[in-house]
Structure 1
Amino acid sequence: MQKYYLLILLFFAGLIASAISPHDYFTWILEVFPAIIGLIILLITFKKFRFTYLTYCMILIHCCILFVGGHYTYAMVPLFDWIKDFFHQSRNNYDKLGHFAQGFAPAMIVREVYIRQQIIQKKTWIPFLTVVVCMSISMCYEFLEWFVSVVSGSSGDSFLGSQGDIWDTQSDMLFATIGAICMVIFFSKLQDRNIDTFQTSR
């Protein structure tokens, strides 16, 4: 159990650090809110359905990306400002990393649930349906960004983070899709081994 406590400790360390003098607290709350909700859900369901440690680690990495984005806003993360200048890019692309993780981490979760709960009998369908679910999550998040921006007006601009890119919504969903596909292609075998080890140890 200690290794799970360590993940929770790291989560709160990242959350607290991101809350210290962020760019603005309205954007910070919007960006870290999904991580907080996710933690609550994982804590409530921990005894009923415990994910593999690998999946929890990937979720934590995704949360840390959210914390950084919440602290600086996705359009103003310093490292990606440097990358923008160095590679002569037109915008800060930290949000693309965030959306890649938005596809990757949920793919870990969805695929593990499919396998361990035996929701899908024909395993050949698991990769496709995993990616489809992640695409749906990304689409719903874009709806949420749009709704917040409409309701809050200019206050939601930092949360929207389009940086003047008219194709920002479409590219966000594309990167989430790429993240999910990368997880399925490159991490499926590793996840399968972790699931087998987890189930035999219980």
Structure 2
Amino acid sequence: MGGRLPAVLLALWLVATLALGIAPYDRNDWLLENALVVLLLAVLLPSHRQRPLSNLACVALFAFLLLHEVGAHYTYSQVPWMQWWQALTGEAPAPGRNHFDRAVHFAYGLLLAPAVADWTALRTPLRGLSLRVVVVALLTAGSALYEMIEWAAAETFGGDLGMAYLGTQGDAWDAQKDMAIALAGSLLWAVLPRKLTRA
């Protein structure tokens, strides 16, 4: 399936996105959340034929995008993961902040790292430790850029849409915590054995 895997994953992701887009919690937030995904795919897809990502990178990217689509469907602060967890384990998580968005920020660092490593290795002479350092730096910069985009979108759209997209849930340090968690995800990738990362 090797050569067909990216196309299969893309098709599965499109089906999931369409299904989760049928009746999202907030249609405008769903559109905003998916705008960056469209931009990401517009960058990756044209170059994939000449410089393909590894199957590992494609699977990790697919997993991240699925998590993102779940967040986009419910808005990140409304994802009912606590109910899912209780149904699965019989144990209720401690009440409080909805941490689904934090899990996805961690996944951003961990699951996008293979694709960023592939993309960088195909275009630069970087390998080994130097490649890992650059991947962590790129993902950290990307996380900071995303937080600035969130802030700009919240300022631009304001009101309920701005707050739904921002998703701070009343935490004044939300952006900094999100960036730190994304950094933790990319650092975990960076210390994994080479056979698991191919970097």
Aligned to 1:87: 93
* Structure 2: tracts of 5 or more residues without a match: none
Change (3 A) 1:42 1:116: closer
Q: C-alpha distance in 1, partners of 2:48/2:178?
A: 30
Identify the range of structure 1 (109-118 vs 62-71) with the bigger mean alpha-carbon deviation: 109-118
Q: CA deviation at 1:116?
A: 3.8
Q: What is the one-letter code of the residue matched to 2:130? A: W
The yes-or-no answer on 1:99 pairing with 2:99 is no
The alignment's TM-score, normalised by the length of structure 2, stands at 0.87
Deviations 1:111-140 (A, max 9, x none): 22343444326x332222221111100000
Among residues 138, 146, 149, which one is paired with 2:143 in the alignment? 138
The yes-or-no answer on 1:31 pairing with 2:33 is yes
User: Would you say the 8 A contact 1:80–1:93 is kept in 2?
Assistant: no
Instruction: Kindly tell me the number of residue pairs found equivalent between the two proteins.
Output: 192
Q: What is the one-letter code of the residue matched to 1:140? A: L
Q: C-alpha distance in 2, partners of 1:187/1:17?
A: 36
Q: CA deviation at 1:146?
A: 0.3
Q: C-alpha distance in 1, partners of 2:81/2:165?
A: 19
* Structure 1: tracts of 5 or more residues without a match: 196-202
Q: C-alpha distance in 2, partners of 1:182/1:61?
A: 17
User: Would you say the 8 A contact 2:75–2:165 is kept in 1?
Assistant: yes
Q: C-alpha distance in 2, partners of 1:80/1:146?
A: 27
Give the secondary structure class of the aligned counterpart of 2:137: helix
Q: CA deviation at 1:26?
A: 0.9
Aligned to 1:165: 171
Among residues 105, 127, 131, which one is paired with 2:132 in the alignment? 127
Give the secondary structure class of the aligned counterpart of 1:164: coil
User: Would you say the 8 A contact 2:64–2:112 is kept in 1?
Assistant: no
Q: C-alpha distance in 1, partners of 2:179/2:85?
A: 22
Change (3 A) 1:16 1:144: same
User: Would you say the 8 A contact 2:25–2:73 is kept in 1?
Assistant: yes
User: Would you say the 8 A contact 2:113–2:139 is kept in 1?
Assistant: yes
Change (3 A) 1:43 1:124: closer
Task: Percent identity, please.
Answer: 28
The alignment's TM-score, normalised by the length of structure 1, stands at 0.86
Q: C-alpha distance in 1, partners of 2:195/2:111?
A: 16
The yes-or-no answer on 1:15 pairing with 2:20 is no
Q: CA deviation at 1:25?
A: 1.0
Among residues 157, 164, 180, which one is paired with 1:152 in the alignment? 157
Provide the aligned C-alpha RMSD in A: 2.1
Q: CA deviation at 1:79?
A: 1.5
